[in-house]
Amino acid sequence: MSSPHRCPTIWSFPRGSPRQPDKEHTIRNDERDAEHVHEKEGEDTDANQLRDTMTAGFERLDVGSVGIEDLQGQNTQLEKDKNMCLEEGVTFTPLIDPAWRYTRKPGGLGLYSRIGKSRQETLEQANMLAAEVAPFKAEITQLEAKVEKLEEEKKHDQEKALEQIDTLTAEVAQSKAEVAQLEAKVEELEEEKFFKRCTLEHIETLTAEVGQLKAENAQSKAKVEKLEEEKKHDQEKALEQTYTLIAEVGQLKAENAQLKAENAQLKAENAQSKAKVKKQKEERKELIESMGVHIQWVGDELRVLEAKRMELTSK
């Protein structure tokens, strides 16, 4: 039967291993070893009870990789477990499990296999293990001193880090200002680049237009030269025509003067003719009047003769 008041078992595992033991592996080993204990016959009942009492909830001591805080906590827990075992009347021996043999393993303490040994032999082994733990306590003291030194260095480093943070903050603010200036400069350069690109495109367009205008100008010049030649030729021709016209006008003036003279003559002749015609008209009028009188007389005579004829006919 196991005691209702159990003292924890202290575990150990090699230096350099993880801080927490492999719980699944530990449980498998515990179950295997417990089955092995109950399978053996003629077991020392007191040893079993003491083993069960000593295997209650001690944390395993990792002297290879745990930190100073963990070691200090384990030491405090050992003191509490020692007092509890004394109150319950149970003998407290650190790192003792009478049903187990502890052997040294390179890098730390290792738990290997259970063997049925007498309580006295197990106690002797436990004392040997306790003596092995003593150097680790000295190492803990050294580590505590080292921790204090590291704390001081950490504090100094924190102050230095704060100063560096302030310096870096100022540098970051300055860098941000410089970045803002550079961004503004970049925008200005981008605008200038865009303007230059637009200007170059405009220049290229104007160059093409100038080339086209030059070609058109050359054609216009050729056309103007041709027109000037034609104008010069037309001017010469016009001069010739002018001279011809001047000669014709002189001739026409002479002819006109001759016509005017002829016209004056004709007018004089026409005046004579008119006077002659007027005279002829008057003479004709007089003739007609006289002939009218004569015709009337003839008519009267004819009527008289017609009457005589009618009178003679009737007889």
196 part of a folded domain: no
Cβ-contact 20, 70 below 8 angstroms: no
pLDDT higher at 179 or 114: 179
93 part of a folded domain: yes
Helices 45-54 and 119-314: angle between axes, nearest 10 degrees: 40
- What tokens does 270 get? 């026409």
Cβ-contact 108, 34 below 8 angstroms: no
Task: Please enumerate in sequence order all residues whose Cβ is within 8 A of that of 171, keeping only pairs 6 or more positions apart, or say none.
Answer: none
List Cβ<8 Å contacts ≥24 apart for 38-43.
Answer: 40/116, 43/116
Q: How sure is the predictor about 26, in pLDDT bands with cuts at 50, 70 and 90?
A: very low
Please give the Cα distance from 270 to 51 (Å, whole number): 185
Between the two ends of the chain, the Cα-to-Cα distance in Å is 222
44 part of a folded domain: yes
277 part of a folded domain: no
Compute the Cα dihedral for 115, 116, 121, 126 and give only its sign. positive
105 part of a folded domain: yes
Buried b (16+ CB within 10 A) or exposed e, 108-138: bbebeebeebeeeebbebbeebeeebeebee
Kind and range of the H or E run holding 258: helix 119-314
Kind and range of the H or E run holding 42: none
- Total structural domains within the chain: 1
- What tokens does 236 get? 């010469």
Cβ-contact 68, 145 below 8 angstroms: no
Mean pLDDT score across all residues of the chain: 70
Helices 68-87 and 119-314: angle between axes, nearest 10 degrees: 130
- What tokens does 188 get? 């200005």
Whole-number pLDDT of residue 73: 57
Cβ-contact 52, 5 below 8 angstroms: no
46 part of a folded domain: yes
272 part of a folded domain: no
Q: Which domain holds residue 102?
A: 23-117
Please give the Cα distance from 219 to 14 (Å, whole number): 105
Please give the Cα distance from 187 to 192 (Å, whole number): 8
pLDDT higher at 259 or 39: 259
β-strands 108-114, 100-105: how paired?
A: antiparallel
Q: How sure is the predictor about 121, in pLDDT bands with cuts at 50, 70 and 90?
A: low
Please give the Cα distance from 308 to 303 (Å, whole number): 9
Q: How sure is the predictor about 202, in pLDDT bands with cuts at 50, 70 and 90?
A: confident
C-alpha dist (Å) from residue 252 to 141, 237, 242: 153, 22, 14
35 part of a folded domain: yes
Whole-number pLDDT of residue 237: 86
Find how far residue 63's CA is from the centre of its chain. 59
37 has a pLDDT exceeding 70:
no
Q: How sure is the predictor about 224, in pLDDT bands with cuts at 50, 70 and 90?
A: confident
From 3-7, 48-52, 88-92, the region with the lowest mean pLDDT: 3-7
